[in-house]
Structure 1
Amino acid sequence: MSRIAKLIGQMCWRNSRHIDYRFDVQMCKEPFIAFTNGKRRWLYAITTNLDKSENRMNWRNTELMYKYYENRIKGMKDWFQVIQKTLNATLPFVMIDNDEYRTQNKMLINWIRTQTPSVEKFVIYSSTIADDDLTYILNTMTINWGLYLYVKLSDQFTINFPRTLTRFYVHHGEWITMVQLLSIPALSITIVHSSLTPQELKAFFELWINVKYHKQLQYFDIVLQSEQHLEAIRSITQTPIDKKGSWYLDNGFFKDIVQGGNEIKRKDGATAFLGLFDSSNFEFGILRFCLYSTEFNIALNA
């Protein structure tokens, strides 16, 4: 352990104990522990390949070093505990590749739970159905800020949130029904692959307009699946933005230069940008909804 602590000290500033470090754990094929201060980032990757041990790579403000362990989970635990103790660092981010640790998922979650009462951001990957694993994570971990799901889930899966999230991202969102979408308590929602019908997508925005659901929603984007989805969106009552040329759209969750677009207005007076963005990856583009803040309204009308 002292050898690991010495290596950490060599890669950090001498006054590291007076600096606020944050670190993350990513459980992939070669799990790694990373810790960050400002723009500087150090990564320790655990490898079972002895030839890679002690190899170092540097680029810009990031340094990567490989450490050999016969047992990659033991290696991850060793480095996790020493970094946390040496730097008194907080753990804001955890990622698990469920394909790599399918039989060890619950053990890893239980161990992380003993090390930290909560995390800000949790990411999980799985190429196969992972209903039970995701349910266990949500029932065991306290996730305060963002949940990112790159997992495949069955059509029967339902998700229950104990608290409002700032960010909710779903890559394989075919399991999300209209009822589930309306019940997701998040300030920002992204759905890539969806099974929502054109009528359901239109109804979602009409319910927002009528102040029925998602009063807290500030950002929503979804990949459109068909020409019928486009037509359904166009049939929503909306007003073209009367502003010439390009302008900067920034509501905290989305920042970009846009041109054109429409506005939809809620019955309580709240106004949101609703625009279609082309994408080389998706034939029918991406629909983005951005709620205006008071400051943004002033800038837009300037």
Structure 2
Amino acid sequence: MDLPNPFPILRLPYLAIEEVFKSLHPIEIINLSLISKRAKAITKQMTFYSKYDICLRVDEGLGIAIRVENKLVSCTYLMTSDERMNGNVEEYGGNDYIVRRVYKYSKNPIEEWKQLFKYVLDILKKQTLHLLFITLDNFVNHNVSIIDFLRKNVKSVTECQLYQDEEDNDVDEHVAYLLNNLKVSNELQFYLNIKNDNFNLKIPKNLRQLYIHDSEWIGYERLVEIDCEHVTLRDNEITDEQWNLFLKKWMTMETNQNLNCLRLDNRELDEFRAIVLHDIPHEVVDRGVKRNLIFSYRDVKKAVNGGIDIRRIDGKIATFFVHDNVFSMSVH
């Protein structure tokens, strides 16, 4: 039986080529661009790449993910030093999402990962990294070179998630270097055990979300410097006296003017009123009064009964309440 003749995709009219490309997975588009210089040139002419997001993962492996249309499709290159995994493809999903993983063998996975990432940025005409997921104690000897590489090749990181595998490992120096050299524009999540309370770390300004899982190192000085919309501080050690000073500064608009929601570990509302708000004008709202208040990132609102209100000099109100064992301050 004769094999069918190859279909000349690249000889079609431009609009027809673009429709073909739209039906491909992002990894298929990248692979097609590698066929020839002409294929690469035509691939770069496509106009629909704005719906793609590029994500990097640095942990036990090295991954480059291309997400499409709000994460409905995720295609990932995973670099591996295991030659047996080369070319393996995993795919799974449901009614509203698809995940495809392609394993790529390399004798030097870190350097090839860097070069592949530069190529993907070039093809998709991207300058912003949507997500950086990095476990800072997995490739300790390469952290600085990876950070330097990202600083040279991306203008900003929309969302940054920082992890460590072993709590005893000291990652302070590398996380400070990362945040001092990369611009994080929207969301920063810390899942790190910081060893030195006085280490030189620059928390980005104007974030939509700042989440710090172990925030013992966030003292009063850093608290008043934070300028983010949604802030979560787990296990903080800020004293009641310092919270009192912070709220007074907030009320006079000397700090945290962008704050929409502050979430802390659970504490008793009456105790907070007695100890922290003892000399701050406030109003106890009857529990029969129900209001929809900002509760979390993306301005998700919850129906809240009662609470305690304080007022800023510009008329903004902050309500303190407890919901699902989380003590929150919601600004409205």
Give TM-score scaled by structure 1 length.
Answer: 0.79
- Deviations 1:45-101, CA, capped at 9 Å, x for gaps: 223334444131221322222313333313422431232223224422212211101
Structure 1, 123-132 or 98-107: larger mean CA deviation = 123-132
Mapping 1:201-216, distance limit 5 Å: 201-216=243-258
Deviation (angstroms), 1:221: 0.9
Q: 2:224 aligns with which of 179, 182, 188?
A: 182
- Separation in structure 2 between the aligned mates of residue 160 and residue 74 of structure 1, nearest angstrom: 28
Deviation (angstroms), 1:36: 1.6
Mapping 1:21-32, distance limit 5 Å: 21-32=52-63
- 1:72 aligned partner: 109
Q: For the aligned residues, what is the CA RMSD?
A: 3.0
Q: 2:315 aligns with which of 250, 256, 269?
A: 269
Deviation (angstroms), 1:123: 2.1
Task: Flag the structure with larger Rg.
Answer: 2
- 2:188 aligned partner: 147
Deviation (angstroms), 1:174: 0.5
Runs in 1 of length 4+ with deviation above 6 angstroms? none
Q: Which residues of structure 2 form unaligned runs of 5+?
A: 1-24, 33-41
Deviation (angstroms), 1:181: 0.4
Contact 2:185–2:204 (Cα < 8 Å) also in 1: no
Deviation (angstroms), 1:158: 4.5
Q: 1:249 to 1:6 in 2, by over 3 A?
A: closer
Q: 1:241 to 1:214 in 2, by over 3 A?
A: farther
Deviation (angstroms), 1:243: 5.1
- Is 1:249 equivalent to 2:293 in the alignment? yes
Contact 2:27–2:75 (Cα < 8 Å) also in 1: no
Number of residue-to-residue matches in the alignment: 278
Deviation (angstroms), 1:234: 5.4
Secondary structure of 1:290 counterpart:
strand
| AA of the residue aligned to 1:49 | D
Secondary structure of 1:185 counterpart:
coil
Deviation (angstroms), 1:233: 4.3
- Separation in structure 1 between the aligned mates of residue 253 and residue 286 of structure 2, nearest angstrom: 22
Contact 1:261–1:274 (Cα < 8 Å) also in 2: no
- Separation in structure 2 between the aligned mates of residue 131 and residue 144 of structure 1, nearest angstrom: 21
Secondary structure of 1:112 counterpart:
helix
Contact 2:134–2:161 (Cα < 8 Å) also in 1: yes
Mapping 1:127-146, distance limit 5 Å: 127=167, 128-146=169-187
| AA of the residue aligned to 1:249 | L
